[in-house]
A = this chain, B = another copy of it.
C-alpha cells in the first residue's frame, strides 16, 4: 500500500486541467474560476476557450478539435517555461476530456514533464447536468460510455452496451454522433432494441444550462439517429427509470428510483 502524495513541491511552472461545466457561467466551480483568473496561458478547443474572458496578461491558445495530444504537449511545454497554464474542457476533465490526454503525453514524454506540478480540478459533467435537468435520470447504478470509435474498436463499444443492458444499468452515452461517424448511434439504437429494451426511456440533452438547451425523451423504439449530435448527451433508462406526470398538470420528471427488486 502506498500513501499518496501526488503533489510534490519545487516544480517548474504549474499546469491545471479544469472543467468548465455544461455551459452556464454559474456552474463553474469558484476553485476553477480562481485558477483561471491567475493563469498566464489558457489552452483548449476553440469553443471552450471562447468561454474565457480575455485580459491583457493572458495568452489564449485555441486549437481545433481532435488534436488533444498536440494541445496537451503545448500546455506542458508552456508550463516547463514557467507559465501558469490552464487546460480547459467542458464538463469534467476526467470524463472524455483533456485530463487523460495530458497524462498520456507526460507518460510518453521527456522526464522534465514529471517536474511540472499538474493539478486536475473536477467539474459538472454533461450526464449529471442532464440528469438533474429532467429530474434524477441517473438516480441508481449507471454506466458511462463514449460512443466514439476513434480511439477504441467498435466491438468494444458494442460489448459494453450489451453488458450494461444485461446488468440493467442506466447508461449515459457521450459523443453519440458526428459527421465523421454518422452510423455509430444508429447501430447503438439497433443494439438496444436487439437486447429487448426498446420500450425503455431514452432522453437527449443538448446544451444543458444554456439558452439553447434542448431536451427530448421518448421510448427507445421511437428514437431516431438524427436526434443526437456531438453536443448531445444521451441517457438510456434502466427497467426502473420512469416518467411521472399527473392528469391536468404539465409538470413531469424522469427519475430512476433508489430501490431495486422487492
Q: Which residues of B contact A217 (CB under 8 A)?
A: 1-2, 4
Give Cα A105 to B29, complex, Å.
Answer: 31
Chain B residues closer than 8 Å to A134, beta-carbon distance: 4, 6
CA distance A5 to B95 in the complex (A): 28
Which of A25-51 touch B at CB < 8 Å?
A: 25-31, 34
Asked whether any CB of chain B lies closer than 8 Å to the CB of A52, the reply is no
Is residue A246 contacting chain B, with contact meaning CB distance below 8 A? yes
Query: CB < 8 Å: which of B106, B111, B163, B257 contacts A104?
Result: B257
| A255 contact set on B, CB distance < 8 A | 99-100, 103-104
Residues of A in contact, count (CB < 8 Å): 97
Q: Tell me the complex Cα distance, A93–B136, Å.
A: 8
CA distance A258 to B71 in the complex (A): 15
B258 x A136 contact (CB < 8 A): no
Interface residues of A (CB under 8 A from B): 1-8, 11, 21, 24-31, 34, 68, 92-96, 99-104, 106-107, 111, 114-115, 117-118, 120-125, 128-129, 131-146, 151-153, 156, 159-160, 163-164, 166-169, 215-218, 222, 227, 242, 244-246, 249-253, 255-262
